[in-house]
Structure 1
C-alpha cells in the first residue's frame, strides 16, 4: 500500500496518526472551551424551555412531524420555549410549532456530513453552532426543563439514554422525560423489561424515570404534573 492510499483510507475513516492525535488534542481544548462559554452565555438568557428531539429524516407530511409541531405549539402556550437540534425533520417541526405559538425557538445546530442543515423556524438570535456532540448535549441537559423524545435513530437514542443515565445516577436533578409514540417505543421498553431488568442490569424502578404517551395533551399533562407535584418552578 502506498502512502497516498494509506492517507485516503485514514481520511475516509477519520483516523489519525498518534502524532496528529497529540497535536490536535492540545489545540482542541480551546475550541471546546469556546463552545462551552458561548453556549453558557447565550442559553442562560432563554428562560424555561423544553427540548424536542427525534429523527432528522421525518418528512413534513408524516404524522410524527405534525405531532411534534403541535406539541411545541401547545408547550409555548403553557409558557415554555422550545429547544431542538436545529436541523430538519422533527427538529424543524419543533421549531415551527414554537414559532407558530409565538414562543422562544432555539436551535443547537451541529456540523454533520449529511442530513443536518439549519431550519428556518429558529429565532435569529438563538442559533448556536457546535462541532462537538458532547458540548451540545451538555447544553440540552443544562438548559431544558423537560425532554420530549419523538421517534428517531441513533442520535435520539443517544440523547435519551444519556439523560436517563444522568438522572438515574443523580448527576443532575430529575426532570420529565416523555417518549412520544407508544407503537414506536413499546418494543424498546419490552426489551428493557425482558432483558435488562431480568438480568439485573437495571432496577424495575428505573422505568419510572420516563413516561410514554401518544398525544400532545398527554405531554403537557406529564410536564405540568411533574412541576406541580414537586412544587418546582420550571424557570429554575
Structure 2
C-alpha cells in the first residue's frame, strides 16, 4: 500500500505532473477556464494586448498609452454590452493577459465602467502576476502558452493592440495569421499609435519582398486614441459572436 503505484491517479502528483500526462494537463487548463466563463455566461470578448512594462506614472508617451488603454477598457465595456446579460449572455467583455502595464489599464477601465473583465495570466519568471482589476472569478493562470492563446482567441469579437514587445507581437501575429489563413473567422483588429507600429513593423518591405500580399494591409486598422479605436470597432458587427452560445459551444 505504500507503493506509488497504489496511489489514486488523481491524487498522485508524480503521475499528474509526468511527461505522459501532458495532454491531460492541457485538457485541465482548457476545462477550468471554460467552465468559469460559461458560468458567467460570457459569449464574446474584446481582447486588449500591450506591453507589461508600461506604467501610469512612466515617461509621457507611456503614460498616454496607459491612459488610452484604460479609457478603451471603459468605453468598450460601457458601449459593447459587457455590463449586462442580454438574452442570457454577456458580450464584448474585456479580456487581457491579466498582468501589469497595458493589461492592467484595460482591466481597470472595465472596473471604471462597472463591468467584469478577464485576466488570462501565465506563469513567467518575471513581470507576470495578476493585476488588481480583473474580476477575481475570471482571473486565470496558465502554464501553457498554447492553451492561453486558445482562450484569448476563441471568444474574441475584436482585438485592440497597444505598443508592446515580443509578447505583444506574438499574440498579435498569431491572430493575424489565423485570419490571413482562414483558420478562424476574420475579426476587426486595431493597432493604437500608427507611428509606433509603422516604425517597428515595415509592411512595405514585407510586401516588396513578397512575404505578404498588398491585401493583407486590410487585416487591421490604425487608431490614435481610445475613442478612435472604438469608432473603428463600432462599424463592425460586434453584437453577437461567431461561435455558438457559451453553454453549447463546441471545440
4+ aligned runs moved over 4 Å, structure 1: none
- Report deviation, 1:118: 0.5
| TM-score of the pair, normalised by structure 1 | 0.84
5+ long unaligned stretches in structure 1? 1-22
Q: Does residue 42 in structure 1 map to residue 52 in structure 2?
A: no
5+ unaligned residues in a row in structure 2: which ranges?
Answer: 1-16, 58-62, 82-91, 243-251
Aligned mate of 2:231, from 212, 217, 221 = 221
Aligned partner of residue 226 in structure 1, secondary structure: coil
3-state SS, counterpart of residue 145 of structure 1: strand
Paired positions, count: 208
CA distance in 2, matches of 1:129, 1:90: 18
Using the TM superposition, give the Cα deviation of residue 24 of structure 1 relative to its aligned residue in structure 2, in angstroms: 4.6
Range that drifts further, 201-210 or 42-51:
42-51
Q: Which residue of 1 aligns with 2:239?
A: 233
Residue 192 of structure 1 is matched in structure 2 by 203
Match of 1:73 in 2: 74
Deviations 1:174-213 (Å, cap 9, x if unpaired)? Answer: 1111100112111234x121x2111111100011000111
In 2, the alpha carbon distance for the partners of 1:234 and 1:155 equals 29
* Greater RCO, CA 8 A, separation 6+: 2
1:217 shift after superposition: 1.3
Q: 1:206 aligns with which of 202, 213, 216?
A: 216
Counterparts of 1:201 and 1:182, CA distance in 2: 21
Contact kept? 1:46, 1:104, Cα under 8 Å? no
Q: Among residues 92, 105, 111, which one is paired with 2:117 in the alignment?
A: 105
Q: What is the DSSP-based 3-state SS (H/G/I as helix, E as strand, rest coil) of the residue aligned with 1:118? A: coil
Partners of 1:222 and 1:141 lie apart in 2 by: 20
Q: 1:219 & 1:234 partners in 2: Cα distance?
A: 19
Q: Which has the higher helix share?
A: 1
Question: Displacement, 1:148?
Answer: 0.7
Helix, strand or coil for the counterpart of 1:64?
Answer: helix
Asked whether the 8 Å contact 2:45–2:95 carries over to 1, the reply is yes
Are 1:58 and 2:54 matched, yes or no?
A: yes
Tell me the alpha carbon deviations over residues 74-112 of structure 1, each in whole angstroms, 9 at most, x when there is no partner: 001112321011111111001000001111211111111
Once residues 219 and 33 of structure 2 are traced to their aligned partners in structure 1, the CA distance between those partners, rounded to angstroms, is 27
Pair 1:30 & 2:42 matched = no
The equivalent residue for 1:118 is: 130
Q: What secondary structure does 2:157 align onto?
A: coil
Q: For the residues of structure 2 that align with 1:40 and 1:179, how far apart are their CA atoms?
A: 28
What is the aligned-residue RMSD (CA, Å)?
1.5
Q: Secondary structure at the match of 2:128?
A: coil
Find the aligned partners of 1:76 and 1:123 in 2 and give their Cα distance: 13
Distance (Å, rounded) in 1 between the aligned partners of 2:156 and 2:114: 18
1:113-192 → structure 2 map (5 Å cutoff): 113-189=125-201, 191-192=202-203
